[in-house]
Amino acid sequence: MQRRTVVCLAVACLAIGTVVGYAAKENGGGVAVFKGKPAKDGAYAALAEAEKLAGNGSWELIGVGRVYYLSGDKAKGQAIFDRVLNARPATSD
């Protein structure tokens, strides 16, 4: 009985995935929020927000800088890395 349930669940997931994939293909793909906008603009807007949320967190800023650097904006990524590396460490308990 349990094996039958697992097989039915797997088949259902495959069917749902196929339907969703076909629907995305028919609608031109992509998320409706970004329709008509270049994907790069949305990504850079999300990165700018991530940089604000990172605040002064060194590991968070390194992650944001890495995404900038690897996405092709090497100057912005390097500026973030330099900012993290040149910052004085905060004293902690």
Neighbours of 41 (CB within 10 A): 10
Q: With beta carbons less than 8 A apart as the criterion, state whether 42 and 13 touch.
A: no
Residue type, 21: G
- 76 and 38 housed in the same domain: yes
- 39 and 23 housed in the same domain: no
Q: Structurally, how many domains does the chain consist of?
A: 2
- pLDDT above 90: percentage of residues in the chain: 12
- 38 and 24 housed in the same domain: no
- 45 and 82 housed in the same domain: yes
Q: Residue 71 is part of which domain span?
A: 33-93
Instruction: Give the tokens for residue 8.
Output: 């039915």
pTM score: 0.54
**Residue 45, CA distances (Å) to 39, 66, 78 in order:** 10, 16, 18
For residue 91, give the DSSP letter.
P
- 11 and 46 housed in the same domain: no
Instruction: Give the tokens for residue 46.
Output: 């999300």
pLDDT digits (tens, 9 = 90+) for 18-56: 766 666 666 555 555 455 556 677 788 888 888 888 888
